[in-house]
Structure 1
Amino acid sequence: MNEKYVVVDLETTGHSPANSDKIIEVGIVIIENNEITGEHSTFLNPEKPIPAFITNLTGISDQDVNGAPRFHDKASDITALFENSYLVAHNVPFDLGFLNGELASAGFPKLENPVLDTVELARILYPQAPGFKLGQLADHLNITHDAPHRALTDALMTAELLLILLKKLRKLPYETITHLLNLQQGLQSDLYALLNEQQHSLAFSSDSDKTMDIYRGMAIKKVSEEKSETQYVESSFGSYLDAIYETGGTLEQEMSRYEKRSGQREMSETVFDAFRSGNHALIEAETGTGKTLAYLLPAIYEAATMNKKVVISTYTTQLQSQLLDEEVPLINKLVDFGFNIALLKGKQHYLSLEKFERELGTNQEVNYDLTLTKAMILVWLTETETGDVDEIQLPSSGYIFYRQVSTDAESGFDPSSPWFSRSFYQKARQKAQKADILITNHALLSTDMFNDYQLLPAYDKAIIDEAHHLEETASKHYGLTLNYVYIQNTLNQIGSINDDNWLAKLLKEQKISHDDGFRESEWEHIFENAKHEIDDLFRMLFQYVIEQKQKSKTLSDIGRIQYRFEETKEHVEEWGVIKDMVTRLTFYFRDLIHLLSSLKQELKTNSPDDNHYADETNSHMEAIQSIIDRLEQLFLFDDDNTVKWIEIEAYGAKNAVYLYSEPTDISTLLANDFFEKKESIILTSATLSIRNSFLFSQKRLGLSPENLITAKINSPFSYQDQVQLMVPDDFPDVRFGKQDDFIHSTCEAIISLARITDGRMLVLFTSYDMLKKSYYLLKETIDINKYMLIAQGISSGSRSRLKKNFQTFDQSILLGTSSFWEGVDIPGEDLSCLMIVRLPFQPPNHPVYEAKSNELKREGRNAFFELSLPNAVIRFKQGFGRLIRSATDRGIVFVCDARVIKARYGKYFTESIPSAPITTDSTHALMEKAEEWF
């Protein structure tokens, strides 16, 4: 591998040479014999002004490049550096595209060197990295960098990254290298020579890697058994807590800036009391309480002293990671006894080695993401101890492939199979069985609950963190979802006789008798009819919603139209046509299952010792049957206790249709299936009470008051000093058809506050439509060279990506809808102002709300005070909680909706959040006060 590598990084006036963007700086670093041997850097005059945002990003101004040479003056010097070398860049298509564009303009031949893309190589060789931008990788791999976004600095960082990547490549096992060689043609980097050389050197090496389990040509990391034994705890619970929390205790010794929080100990004692008295508990722990540690300590004490498993369930994987990576190592230092802790997720999270090995052996697809995904998984297998997909960052379509090779895609478990002992899921289950503390998520907890507790190991006591999500998660798991893409994907995975999918491959490999049983012509005929029927049905549903939306239209936070349907209220003639189409489709599906059943019998007869094709056939039959069951539940069976609705993407494809159903009331199911069967369940969150009452949470979850403990743990933060809550009294009233005026006022307030707080604003909307209108108005009126404007659903990227972008830029404004109201932590000076545009009431015609509301009205109850208002208050508390995340945070909460002060129910909002100074005044007066306060 002692090749010559020339690493290049460019700064440019924009992102596209096709748009006449030009290079303004070149940084080049040369590597020979695995050492950096040369550096070259120059400004280039683009003969056009440099945009302000590029100057902000790079620090390069027009003055810097005024006297610099033009590209064609330097073209021959630059091309000479690349002779007989690999061309290396962090995102090769960008840098090579610009270089070749400039070379062509200057009359020089294009560079045709072999290339190495360090983004791609990092994805393959460090699949567990937190991100693949140059700065993220530099932080992850401890590469120091002083001036990001300058060409030579970035080229040096890329060069150091390349050396680390090549070193890692040399350490890969022979088997992994061999598989990567088979995949390399589908990658952007020219890896053949490097991989081939490495394969040869390993082929003649007698050293075998003792850390790897080599099975069927795959290298898998050996995982040593953890021997941690639970030890009996002799001290009383009070003494146990004294030794941790009190002055001179282990918490003070382990934490450099420890501040005792009385609420933390109070919460630990409440959890312990509930466990020992056999009661359930609702505990609201406000921000800053340290609730995770507070409930973990009694959970571990309970498991150790009573020899009983305690389950901890979270809503987000982020909290699971925090528990395992931060809290548990800390507790190991705080207590003087050993305990076992394990994490168990759903089967779809864990890689099936058997499935993956089969997919590796298939013909290589032309799909780049699929090739990259396989390469990443191969390297990950040499490192992972869990086989959990959450450890790695796959490309977006890689997750579709992962579902096909996850344990969820396996049809069953054969304990005698050699794969069984290597199964990541089975290992996770075994660890869960032995664990004192089992961490899981609400989704798996709910699935376990509704499957007669067959999935999780037996338990009597559990702690539900982020408990305000339990009702919603349980409802989803008791309900069902179905959409066009899922149905078509299910059929496409099976395939027709003439494509390259599962069925075609099976028929090529297996000799199937055509006289009776499975008939290819019959399969083709029914398969095509089913696919056409699916198209027709979903187009019909799309059209039906468009026609009906005038009567009942709701826009979801991602811009979909939602329509609730009820058998007795639908347009008789058209709904009759839809039901006929559903019935016809279920008949086609049953015919396909019948043919697959015949195929399975023939496979068993032909190959009685090899059941994998028969097992896969069974899986496909089950998948089709599941679709039949869901279609019948949605369209052909009536259920008074269920709400059913359709969502369509108004401007999407004409079959972009999503079907849902949920129970209107989950409380009885939770009461009977969960709380009555378990000894003690602790439910905790920062948002469970309304005006210091837990009645709403208690009723919605089905908790009986007889054996229930409630506790509210106040925040240690000083909201009186750290927060100003401001409400303008001169905004137009949005209820009287003045939405545009209200949006104008909102945008003016955003601009004024942004000037005062240097951006650093999170603006929370309840309506995606209002967010979109505000975004485009702000783009026209705000100084976009000064402020980075980021909007959910408009700016590309996931929620966490938008949050990272928000924190990366000094002066940014983030507009978000429902998913930004909680779970977004932006501590410190990154966030100084939180704006709540409207009180977060659900639209009255939101499908689930409408059904629940109608149910309450039928019972003669007040739907606003029993459902709408409590839900909005809980949501408001979650939004309010985004601002203050530490004792040193300061900021303004600006609520544009005057109902929080003027309406008779406004006090439900203001009296449910921590007490903070409230000012109501004109917008102008509030801005003056905000400026003075900051």
Structure 2
Amino acid sequence: MDRYVVVDLETTGNSTNIDQIIEVGIVVIENNEIVDEFSTLLRPNKPIPPFVSKLTGISDSDVAFAPLFEEMASDVVEIFKNSYLIAHNVPFDLGFLNAELQSVGMNQLNNPVIDTVELTRIMYPQAPSYKLGQLAEYLHIIHHDPHRALSDAIVTAKLFIQLRRKMESLPLETVEHLLKLEKSFKSDIYELLHNQKERLTYSANQDNRFSICKGLAYKAFHEINEGAESSCHSFGGYLDSIYEQNGKMANLLPNYEKRTGQRQMSECIYDTFRSKNHAIIEAETGTGKSVAYLLPAVFEAVTYKQRIVISTFTTQLQSQLLEEEIPLITDIVPFPFQVALLKGRQHYLDLEKFAIEIANVQQDNYDITLTKAMILVWLTETETGDIDELHLPSSGYLFYQKVSTDSDGDLEYSFYQRARKRASDADILITNHALLCTDIFHDYQYLPTYSKVIIDEAHHFEETATRHYGLKLDYVNLQYTLNRIGATANDMVGSTTLTEQVSFESWKELIAKTKYEVDELFRTLFQYVLNKHHDKYARSDTGRIQYRFTNDSIADKQWNIITEMASRINYFLREQIRFLETIVPRNQENITVNDIRNKIEKLRKLIDDLQHLFVENNLEQFVNWVEIEASGAKNAVYLYSEPRDISHTLANLFFDEKESVILTSATLTMKNSFSFITKRLGIPSERLTTKQIGSPFSYENQVRLMVPNDFPDINKGNMDDFIYATCEAILSLAEITSGRMMILFTSYDMLKRAYELIRELMELDQYVLIAQGITSGSRSRLKKNFQTFDQAILFGTSSFWEGVDIPGDDLSCLMIVRLPFQPPNHPTYEAKANYLREQQGNPFYELALPNAVIRFKQGFGRLIRSSTDRGIVFVCDARIVKARYGKYFTDSIPKVPLAFESTHELMKRAQDWF
């Protein structure tokens, strides 16, 4: 059967029980071409909600004289005869069609179906989103009229034709594996896959695009070209040929404008490299700092044969460097150079492990089956094997842990080893703060040798270093590790001759005892924190109760019971190691044996972690704390340990060891001083250069800062009144800006309460509300959804304070609800504050305030992303004006006009401004 009918419906809502179809769009495909189209409006027997009208453009008047569904039902059913039914989310469209058919007494459709959401996830596993509009953009399909049935059906039809072509490009091995998984898919694609298998089986052509490992097809690795000598010996001349008005940047970039700060930054980095010093460079928004540091990095690497490491905090910036900046640099520098990206080994797929797992399909749930299918197709196109390229279903990431790399592996088949090889051959090595810190704290075993490094997003470096010098342990991951160790050993035991002393039964009993003791420990910890909990204890962003271990708590009798439980677990873990060492053959190398050795290392790490948390008295150097989800399972416990001060460790292990460390970010100073970050990171002042580079944007003309003087004082217990005033201000500003607002909160609890109140206050779904933690989707997906709607308000906390770029008219108003101080009873803040007091320091001015100012600067930077942007920053917290420390905030951002007036007066100002 080679007839496919694509359907798209617009409806009055999402429920088949109460909602109805208002528009049908149908497209017929034969021989991979669109051969027919059909569309009609339908009259429902209920009003069309305003939200639906806004989304689709269909109003009650449009359908007033349209036919009822029953009048068109026979015509619609006739189109679907002898064909596949295709929709972008089949359960929705087929569910509505069948509900309507049933309501008029007709037989329901039972055609074979193809869901293009599912099929796209399999065939395009690297797509950034699976919403139809965003897929059309990704695959360059023109979408004339989104959210209208016929236009959506045409786009879905073109998408399906593209999906078939993609399927026809797959190698035989991949198709055979997909056929084994097919019965678990929602889509009936057996015939399509079978036909492709038949074509390939009888084809004599050898496909050189792919290599084979253990029956898996993967994209053949390409050899890396060697770099070349620099033909440019003068750095000044090198920059002249690039930056000046007649240089290569001007030739390549339309409307190029020379930015003085960009060149200053390049020169500062080069001088720092040559003098073998360190530098901290604050480069404000619009400087173009990525290009500014890449140019001297490439020159230094090629001219002086010195690998330069570039570290970022976010994968988003890594992608930007690799996809945008590096290609530009390649075009403008006068010599070739090599770039590589290296992450921790757990990011990379292990082909041999995946080959074992793909053969085991008996107990897979749908998400695991989908994940396997996505990985199979991804293997035919990835050159890196890096998990971050994939957009897996939620439980797919747990499956990926089972098949990710945890040993070095064979260079021929190992993505991780290939990445290491590329890294060792590279002039420029891009990595992340996490791996950089792991390398620093493990005798530089993980990265190739380097002496010069550029750390971008450097305001996160202390936090990352602190976290990686500490540890995190939680119930779910601990039990998961024990289950994996048990399963791996079970495989090994089956092929090993055991003595009575090490029987299979004794192994199972040992695993069971360990898991029981772990469960008891975490349940006891949960109850311990609950019993100790008072209002003074902090709550995390996610609402967990946080409790810090102190000398008083460790002296508690109940704590002695907890330490005894931890010691019992360690005894059982040592017994597991003894057992596993007994069954591992000496001088033997294979995937199972290597896996067992890696599991032994994990057990040793667990023993060390439990010893650190419960046995060693280390509270002088470390902050140890526990978090529980009070409303969660009785073992929903998370244990943390971090050093109270990382500066001496970084000074000794990093800054004293490296020739040049360049730290850069848009937010490193407080009131034009670098002293905070210099002290926190332990950078030696005698080897340090500091530089501030201002933004080329005209903030005085582009931004207005507004602070109301009549909001209720939250510090006097007026939380409800404050939230109400905030919500009223949001709606008033939204009227002026037609939505296009981002609201930044410092706690998820306040965000949730404000979101719910605005929904109550808002008339007729006037604005689309998109809220982190409430609206489903990742940060980037929420941002895209926000940009998709004309009148939308975006609510964010935590990660939304930085890295969310919404240039142009999509964002006109940024509201900061509270100054972003860390809660004073947060465990790490408490311990670090106590440590500073012991050093005769001032915790507020040396810790709380600088962190809040840097966070505030990150939030402020969300508004203006280009020289043509303009808008309002509305700060609900009057402390920015009234408190004696308020100047630290206003003096740390670009100079902008500030209005401190009543909310009513500010709204008039906002109206005039726009």
For the aligned pair, the TM-score class normalised by the smaller chain equals over 0.9
Partner of 1:790: 770
Q: CA deviation at 1:784?
A: 5.3
Q: Structure 2 residue aligned with 1:489, among 476, 480, 497?
A: 480
**Which residue pairs with 1:158 in the alignment?**
156
Match of 1:673 in 2: 653
2:331 maps to which residue?
A: 333
2:593 maps to amino acid: A
Shift of 1:96: 1.4
1:592 aligns with 2:576: yes
Evaluate the alpha carbon distance shift between residue 460 and residue 366 of structure 1 in structure 2; reply closer, same or farther with a 3 A threshold. Answer: closer
Partner of 1:884 in structure 2?
Answer: 864
Deviation at 1:232, TM superposition (A): 2.3
Choose the corresponding residue for 1:923, options 892, 903, 906. 903
Of residues 553, 570, 593 in structure 2, which corresponds to 1:569? 553
- Quote the offset at 1:502 in angstroms: 4.1
Q: Match of 2:159, SS?
A: helix
Match of 1:14 in 2: 13
Inter-partner Cα distance in structure 1 for 2:296 and 2:878: 44
Q: Quick one: distance in 2 between partners of 1:244 and 1:34?
A: 49
Counterpart among 30, 33, 40 of residue 32 in structure 1: 30
How far, CA to CA, are the matches of 2:545 and 2:535 in structure 1?
Answer: 12
Change (3 A) 1:784 1:873: farther
Shift in Å at residue 476 of structure 1? Answer: 0.5
1:241-640 equivalences under 5 Å are 241-408=239-406, 410=407, 412-413=408-409, 419-495=410-486, 501-507=487-493, 510-550=494-534, 552-570=536-554, 572-601=556-585, 611-639=590-618, 640=620
State the distance in 1 between where 2:750 and 2:543 align. 11
1:338-380 CA-partner distances (Å, limit 9, x unpaired): 1111111111111111111111122343311111111111111
Q: Deviations over 1:54-98 (max 9, x none)?
A: 111111112222222222332222222222211111111111121
What secondary structure, in the 3-state scheme, does the structure 1 residue paired with 2:412 have? helix
Equivalent residue of 1:175, what SS?
Answer: helix
**Does the C-alpha gap of structure 1 residues 511 and 458 become closer, same or farther in structure 2, counting only changes over 3 Å?**
closer
Which digits, 9 at most, give the CA deviation of each residue in 1:417-475, with x for residues without a partner? xx431211111111111111111110000000011001111111110000010000000
Q: Alpha-carbon deviation of 1:32? A: 1.4
Structure 2 match to 1:686: 666
**1:552/1:563 contact within 8 Å kept:** no
Paired with 1:694 and 1:773, the residues of 2 have a C-alpha distance of: 37
Candidates 699, 703, 722, aligned match of 1:742: 722
CA contact (8 A) 1:555 1:768 kept: no
626-635 vs 704-713, greater mean Cα deviation: 626-635
Which of 118, 121, 125 aligns to 1:120? It is: 118
Q: Does 1:643 align with 2:623?
A: yes
Q: TM-score, normalised by structure 2?
A: 0.98
Question: C-alpha separation between the residues in 2 aligned to 1:628 and 1:44?
Answer: 67
CA distance in 1, matches of 2:193, 2:459: 51
Q: Which amino acid aligns with 1:344?
A: L
- CA deviations over 1:713-747 (Å, ceiling 9, x no partner): 00000011000011111112111111222112111
Partner of 1:751: 731
Q: Quick one: which of 64, 67, 73 aligns to 1:66?
A: 64
Q: Deviations over 1:619-654 (max 9, x none)?
A: 223223322221221111111110011112232222
The one-character-per-residue Cα deviations of 1:832-860 (angstroms, maximum 9, x if unpaired) are: 11111111111111111110000111122
Paired residues for 1:666-815 under 5 Å = 666-783=646-763, 785-815=765-795
Checking the alignment, whether the CA contact within 8 Å between 1:517 and 1:599 is kept in structure 2 is no
- Over residues 895-922 of structure 1, what are the superposed CA-to-partner deviations in whole Å (9 max), with x where a residue is unaligned? 1111111111111111111111111111
Residues of 1 paired with 2:548 and 2:517: CA distance? 23
Amino acid at match of 1:632: Q
Inter-partner Cα distance in structure 2 for 1:585 and 1:229: 53
Match 2:50 to one of 49, 52, 56 = 52
Cα distance in 2 for partners of 1:866, 1:480 equals 25
How many angstroms apart in 1 are the aligned matches of 2:638 and 2:504?
A: 32
Q: 2:872, 2:32 → 1: CA distance?
A: 53
1:277-307 per-residue CA deviation (whole Å, 9 max, x = no partner) reads 1110000000001111111111111111111
Task: Return the letter of the residue paired with 1:835.
Answer: M
Q: Measure the CA separation in 2 of the matches of 1:377 and 1:818.
A: 31
Give the stretch that moved more between structures: 646-655 or 836-845.
646-655
Counterpart-to-counterpart distance in 2, 1:99 and 1:60: 19
In structure 1, what is the Cα distance between the partners aligned to 2:302 and 2:93? 58
TM-score by length of 1: 0.96
Deviation at 1:234, TM superposition (A): 3.1
Q: Could you say what secondary structure the match of 2:584 adopts?
A: helix
> What letter is aligned with 1:27?
G
The answer to whether the 8 A contact 1:763-1:834 is kept is yes
1:619 and 1:517 map into 2 onto residues whose CA distance is 23
Q: Is the 8 A contact 2:644 2:831 kept in 1?
A: yes
Shift of 1:675: 0.2
Residue type at the aligned position of 1:626: K
Q: Which aligned pairs between 1:65-84 and structure 2 lie closer than 5 A?
A: 65-84=63-82
Q: Distance in 2 between matches of 1:594 and 1:326?
A: 51
Please give the root-mean-square deviation of Cα atoms over the aligned residues, in Å.
1.6
AA aligned opposite 1:436 = D
3-state SS of 1:422 partner: coil
Moved more, 313-322 or 234-243: 234-243
CA contact (8 A) 1:231 1:304 kept: yes
Contact 2:136–2:142 (Cα < 8 Å) also in 1: yes
Checking the alignment, whether the CA contact within 8 Å between 1:365 and 1:371 is kept in structure 2 is no
Q: Tell me what 1:416 maps to.
A: none
Deviation at 1:236, TM superposition (A): 0.9
Q: CA deviation at 1:514?
A: 4.7
Residue 773 (structure 1) shift? 1.9
TM-fit CA distance, 1:570: 4.6
CA distance in 2, matches of 1:515, 1:272: 66
Name the counterpart of 1:655.
635
| Alpha-carbon distance in 2 for matches of 1:795, 1:90 | 20
- Is the 8 Å Cα contact of residues 731 and 896 (structure 1) preserved in structure 2? yes
Q: Is the 8 A contact 1:884 1:890 kept in 2?
A: yes
Matched with 1:860 is 840
In the other structure, the counterpart of 1:129 is: 127
Rounded Cα–Cα distance in structure 2 between residues aligned with 1:486 and 1:665: 27
Distance 2:842 2:908 in 1: 42
Maintained 8 Å contact 2:526/2:634: yes
CA distance in 1, matches of 2:488, 2:81: 47
Do 1:518 and 1:596's aligned partners in 2 also have CA atoms closer than 8 Å?
A: no
Q: d(CA) in 2 for partners of 1:801 and 1:141?
A: 17
Query: Which amino acid counterpart does residue 476 of structure 1 have in structure 2?
Result: R
How many Å separate the matches in 1 of 2:114 and 2:265? Answer: 55
The CA distance in 2 between the partners of 1:931 and 1:517, in whole Å, is: 82
Q: Residues 303, 515 of structure 1: CA spacing in aligned structure 2 closer, same or farther, 3 A cutoff?
A: closer
User: Per the alignment, in what secondary structure is the counterpart of residue 554 of structure 1?
Assistant: coil
User: How many Å apart are 1:609 and its aligned residue?
Assistant: 6.2
Match status 1:913 vs 2:897: no
1:107, distance to aligned residue in structure 2 (A):
2.0
Using the alignment, how far apart are the partners of 1:885 and 1:45 within structure 2? 45
Q: 3-state SS of the aligned residue for 1:842?
A: coil
Q: Which amino acid aligns with 1:642?
A: F
My pick for the range that moved more, 712-721 or 383-392, is 383-392
* Greater Cα offset, 207-216 or 894-903: 207-216
Over 6 Å off, 4+ runs: none
